[in-house]
Structure 1
C-alpha cells in the first residue's frame, strides 16, 4: 500500500511539472549556452565565426524527474570563399515525456558591409523538417481514451528567417525560426497541439576591461502568442582568451553558473549548471549543460579564438 504522504508528494511534483511545462508551452528547445549556439537561434549567424565551426550541446533538464526534457543539438556552419555567404546545418533532438521532436534545417546567410568601421548586416533564411514521435506507453498514459491508442509519427516542413547586425564588439539579432504551423507535444494538456510562431531577439556587447580580460553581457528573449515571454540575461568574463566564467538568469525560472575553457585555438569546452528558482527546485537536482566547439584553421589565416 502506498503511504498517503507519498501520494501527496507525487501530486505536488506533478502539479509543478505541469505548470512549468505550461510556462514553456509551444516554445522551441532552450539553452543556457545560447551565446555559444547562436546558429540555433538565428540563421543569419551562419558563417559569422569566419571559419568552419562545429558546436555540440547536451542538456539534461530537471535531473531526478522522470520524463524531464533531454536535448541534444549539433550545429555546423562556415563562410564560403567570398565571405559574404554563409552556410549551416542544424540538428536538434528534444525529448519530453512520451514525445520526441527532431529538427533538421539548412541555413543560408548573406552579409552586407555597412561602413568602414566593421559594421555589417546579415540576412538569413532556413528550411528544414520537424519530426514529432510519441510513445504513449511511457509515463502515466495508461488511458483507454482513443487519443492515446495510436502512437504518432508526423513530419512537417519548416521555413524561417533572421537578421543579424554586428561589429567586432557587439551584435543584435532578430529571428523567426519557423513561419509555418507544426504539431508538437504539449505536456500541460498531455496531447498534441499546433505550435505558434516563435520570435527571438538576441544581443551582446564585449567590453575590454584590460589587455587580458574581456566582459560580455548578453541577452536572449523568446516570445510566442499564448505563452509567457522567456528572457535570459547572462554576464561572462573571458580571461587570457582561455577561460570563461559567468552567471545567467532566466526570468521566473532559474539562475545558472557557466564556465568554459579554450583547450586549443580550435577546441572549446563549456559547462553550465542551472538551479531552478520555482517550487520545482524541491524535486530535482538541477539542470546540466555541456558544450563542445571545434573549429578549423582556414588556409593562410591564423585561427584566433573569439568571444562570439
Structure 2
C-alpha cells in the first residue's frame, strides 16, 4: 500500500508541475552541500579558490517516491591570469517525473582587493536551458487532449544571471540571482503554458572558527526566495578535524534534517556525502535523500594558493 501511494503521489507531483499555469514554487535544484557548489548559484564565486577547481555532484531526492527529483552537476572554474579575471562553466541535468532539464552555463567574474583580508568578486552568468518532457510517462486522464499529444524535445530558453561574492580566507557572504529573466514555457498549438521560470534570489554566508589547532567549526547559511513560495533557509554546522575529516549536521526549514561527512583525501581531492531525512508530509512516502560529490583542486600557475581555504 505504501509503494502504491508513493507512485500515485509521484504521478500527482508530475501532473502539478506540468499542468499548473500559475505555479511559482521553488524550481531551481536544491543542494545540501551548497557551500561547496557555489558557482552553480553565484557566478561571483568563480576563481575565488585561486586554483583550477573541478566539482562533480549527484543528488537523488525522496528515494522511493516515483518520479522524484534526480540531479547531476559538474562545474569547472579557474583564474584567468593574475589580473582578477576568472571564468567557469557549469552543466546540470535535473529530472523530475516526466520532465528533464539540461542547463549549460558560462560564468565570468572579476575580483578586487578591498583590504589585506577581503576581496569582492563580481560575476555574470549566461545560461542555455534545454527542456524535454515525455508525456508517455504520465497517466493522462484524456488521451485525446492535444496539450499532451506531442512530447517536448530540447526546447531552448536562454537566461542571464549575476552575483556578488565577498570573501577572505575565513569568511564569505554572497548574493546572487542565477536567472534574471522570467521565461514562459509553452507547448501545443494553442500555446498552453507548461511552466514559468521565476527569479530565485540567494543569500549565502559562512565563517571558519579555530577552536583549537586540530578542530575548526564551519557554520554556513543559505537563504533562497522566489515569488509565490515560502522562503527556504538552510542552516549548516560542520566541524573540520585535523584539516582532513569533516562531520556536521544541517536543517532545512520545515523540510529536512541532514547529516554530512567529508574527507580530504590529499591536497587536491575532497569527497563528501550527505543524507537528508524528510520532515515534511512527504516523509510518509520516501526514505530520504542522498548527495555525493567530488572536488578536485589543481594549482594554477598564475595564483598559487598560499593559505588553506575551507569553503
Query: TM-score over 0.5 for the alignment?
Result: yes
Query: Is the contact made by 1:203 and 1:220 (CA closer than 8 Å) also made in structure 2?
Result: yes
Matches within 5 A, 1:172-251: 172-183=173-184, 192-251=194-253
1:159–1:93 distance in 2 versus 1, CA, 3 Å: same
Q: Which runs of 5+ in 1 are unaligned?
A: none
Matches within 5 A, 1:96-115: 96-115=96-115
Matches within 5 A, 1:269-288: 269-288=271-290
Kindly state the Cα deviation for residue 121 of structure 1 after the two structures are TM-superposed.
Answer: 0.9
Q: Which residue in the other structure is 2:189 paired with?
A: none
Kindly state the Cα deviation for residue 169 of structure 1 after the two structures are TM-superposed.
Answer: 1.4
Q: Which residue in the other structure is 1:34 paired with?
A: 34
Query: Is the contact made by 2:6 and 2:66 (CA closer than 8 Å) also made in structure 1?
Result: no
Q: Which runs of 5+ in 2 are unaligned?
A: 187-191
Kindly state the Cα deviation for residue 298 of structure 1 after the two structures are TM-superposed.
Answer: 3.0
Deviations 1:34-87 (A, max 9, x none): 011011110000001110000000000011111100000001001122151110
Kindly state the Cα deviation for residue 147 of structure 1 after the two structures are TM-superposed.
Answer: 1.3
Q: Which residue in the other structure is 1:84 paired with?
A: 84
Q: Which residue in the other structure is 2:119 paired with?
A: 120
Indicate whether 1:163 and 2:200 are aligned: no
1:28–1:8 distance in 2 versus 1, CA, 3 Å: closer
Q: Which residue in the other structure is 2:309 paired with?
A: 306
Query: Is the contact made by 2:50 and 2:304 (CA closer than 8 Å) also made in structure 1?
Result: no
State the number of aligned residues.
299
Query: Is the contact made by 1:74 and 1:90 (CA closer than 8 Å) also made in structure 2?
Result: yes
Q: Which residue in the other structure is 1:152 paired with?
A: 152
Query: Is the contact made by 1:265 and 1:303 (CA closer than 8 Å) also made in structure 2?
Result: no
Query: Is the contact made by 2:10 and 2:66 (CA closer than 8 Å) also made in structure 1?
Result: no
Query: Is the contact made by 2:14 and 2:98 (CA closer than 8 Å) also made in structure 1?
Result: no
Indicate whether 1:268 and 2:267 are aligned: no
Indicate whether 1:74 and 2:74 are aligned: yes
Quote the Cα distance in structure 2 between the aligned partners of 1:31 and 1:135: 25
Kindly state the Cα deviation for residue 136 of structure 1 after the two structures are TM-superposed.
Answer: 0.3
Higher relative contact order (CA 8 A, sep 6+): 2
Q: Which residue in the other structure is 1:43 paired with?
A: 43
Query: Is the contact made by 1:296 and 1:303 (CA closer than 8 Å) also made in structure 2?
Result: no
Query: Is the contact made by 1:87 and 1:108 (CA closer than 8 Å) also made in structure 2?
Result: yes
3-state SS in 2 of match to 1:264: coil
TM-score normalised by the chain length of structure 1? 0.89
Q: Which residue in the other structure is 1:252 paired with?
A: 254
1:15–1:128 distance in 2 versus 1, CA, 3 Å: closer
Quote the Cα distance in structure 2 between the aligned partners of 1:302 and 1:193: 44
Query: Is the contact made by 1:170 and 1:206 (CA closer than 8 Å) also made in structure 2?
Result: yes
Q: CA-atom RMSD, angstroms?
A: 2.7
1:16–1:260 distance in 2 versus 1, CA, 3 Å: farther
3-state SS in 2 of match to 1:81: coil
Quote the Cα distance in structure 1 between the aligned partners of 2:24 and 2:249: 22
1:273–1:24 distance in 2 versus 1, CA, 3 Å: farther
3-state SS in 1 of match to 2:68: coil
1:19–1:114 distance in 2 versus 1, CA, 3 Å: farther
Deviations 1:12-31 (A, max 9, x none): 84599579979982421110
